[in-house]
């Protein structure tokens, strides 16, 4: 019975030892393996086996891009203004061996390196340049950190200035300046709006005057055309009336001729026509000589009839 228990215990111990020798490396990870304290190799993704007791996993390394937000660092600008700047560093481990054996504490090393690099860059800039040159500062810091961290197996992808905190007095002065600038812009916009409104009103009056003048012109043209049309129609009516009178007279003479009337009757009819003409607006009528003779004959006959 004791032998069986001993065998079971031994089997469990062997199983534990064997299972501890099997290592699975997940995606985007790496393992640094040492044998008797010396570097043996770097395990990538997959299943790996190590020798019991003499081999050990010295470090697990994450190969994904990592983000470190460092606390605000005090810096002094070229014009002697002290401010605090909060930085964010995006980095990725490219060589697990260098990352493991290159520096004792990589994150602390990056933080200190970021602080010193930031002080050097800001020391060459004035306050206004610091506030308006974030992209330039980010680029310079990324280049400097990437070169410095390359021996540690670290690649710095981006560096961002998360926040720039100037002194309270500077913040107050900046706020007053911004307020004055906003008020100035507001006054300019108001003046431009009033100017634009005045111009639009003047243009509207001018356009209205032009439209009124064009309307008056068109009205005068229409009145003139109406008057002209009226006169034309009156003239056409008078001409048509005269034509009808002439046609009626010609018809009468034609009927008289067809009835066999002699020249004396025709001359008398002509005399009657001239008499009718004398009843109009004419002040002087010229009567042909042959009609005058007939008129005298008619007058003589009338006088004999009276006697």
Give the per-residue pLDDT at 304. 44
Mean pLDDT of the 243-265 span: 67
Give the per-residue pLDDT at 66. 92
Give the per-residue pLDDT at 274. 53
The proportion of the chain whose per-residue pLDDT surpasses 90, expressed as a percent, equals: 17
pLDDT of 297 strictly over 50: no
pLDDT of 280 strictly over 90: no
Give the per-residue pLDDT at 270. 57
Which tokens in the block code for residue 204? 């509207």
Using only the alpha carbons of the chain, give its radius of gyration.
62
Banded pLDDT at 51 (limits 50, 70, 90): confident
Give the per-residue pLDDT at 156. 92
Mean pLDDT of the 135-156 span: 91
Which of 27-36, 160-169, 254-263 is most confident?
Answer: 27-36
Which tokens in the block code for residue 279? 């009843």
Q: Is the torsion defined by CA of 147, 149, 152, 153 positive or negative?
A: negative
The neighbour count for residue 91, using CB atoms within 10 Å, is 23
Task: Please give the residue that has the higher pLDDT: either 234 or 116.
Answer: 116
Task: Please give the residue that has the higher pLDDT: either 185 or 297.
Answer: 185
d(CA 149, CA 171): 35
pLDDT of 128 strictly over 60: yes
pLDDT tens for each residue of 193-220: 888 888 888 888 888 888 888 888 888 8
Mean pLDDT of the 241-251 span: 75
Mean pLDDT of the 75-85 span: 86
d(CA 134, CA 141): 10
95 three-class SS:
coil
Banded pLDDT at 301 (limits 50, 70, 90): very low
The proportion of the chain whose per-residue pLDDT surpasses 70, expressed as a percent, equals: 81
Give the per-residue pLDDT at 208. 81
Q: Which domains does the chain have, with CATH numbers?
A: 18-62 (no CATH), 66-166 (3.30.479.30), 262-307 (no CATH)
Task: Please give the residue that has the higher pLDDT: either 297 or 75.
Answer: 75
Asked whether 34 and 56 are in contact (CB, 8 A), the reply is yes
Closest Cα to residue 148, out of 176, 120, 186? Answer: 120
Banded pLDDT at 305 (limits 50, 70, 90): very low
Average pLDDT in the chain: 80
According to DSSP H, which parts of the chain are helical?
Answer: 2-20, 96-101, 106-122, 127-132, 134-149, 168-258, 263-278, 289-306
Mean pLDDT of the 61-75 span: 90
Indicate the pTM of the whole model.
Answer: 0.54
pLDDT of 22 strictly over 50: yes
Banded pLDDT at 271 (limits 50, 70, 90): low
């Amino acid at each position: 019975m004791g032998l069986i228990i001993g065998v079971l215990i031994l089997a469990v111990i062997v199983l534990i030892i064997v299972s501890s020798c099997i290592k699975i490396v997940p995606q985007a990870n790496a393992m640094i393996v040492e044998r008797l304290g010396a570097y043996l190799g770097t395990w990538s993704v997959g299943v790996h086996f190590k020798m019991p007791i003499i081999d050990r996993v010295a470090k697990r390394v994450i190969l994904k891009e990592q983000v470190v937000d460092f606390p605000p660092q005090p810096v002094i600008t070229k014009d002697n203004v002290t401010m605090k700047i909060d930085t964010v560093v995006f980095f990725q481990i490219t060589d697990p061996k260098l990352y493991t054996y290159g520096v004792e504490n990589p994150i602390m090393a990056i933080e200190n390196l970021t602080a010193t690099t930031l002080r050097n860059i800001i020391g060459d800039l004035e306050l206004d340049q610091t506030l308006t040159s974030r992209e330039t500062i980010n680029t310079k810091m990324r280049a400097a950190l990437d070169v410095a961290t390359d021996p540690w197996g670290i690649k710095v992808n981006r560096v961002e200035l998360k926040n720039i905190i100037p002194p309270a007095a500077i913040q107050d002065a900046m706020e007053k300046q911004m307020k004055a600038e906003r008020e100035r812009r507001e006054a300019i916009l108001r003046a431009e709006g009033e100017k634009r409104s005045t111009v639009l009103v003047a243009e509207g009056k001018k356009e209205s005057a032009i439209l009124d003048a064009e309307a008056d012109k068109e009205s005068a043209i229409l009145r003139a055309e109406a008057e002209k049309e009226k006169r034309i129609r009156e003239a056409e009516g008078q001409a048509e009336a005269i034509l009808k009178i002439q046609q009626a007279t010609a018809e009468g003479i034609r009927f008289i001729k067809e009835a066999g009337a002699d020249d004396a009757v025709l001359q008398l009819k002509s005399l009657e026509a001239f008499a009718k003409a004398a009843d109009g607006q004419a002040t002087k009528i010229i009567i042909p000589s042959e009609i005058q003779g007939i008129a005298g004959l008619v007058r003589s006959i009338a006088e004999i009839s009276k006697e």
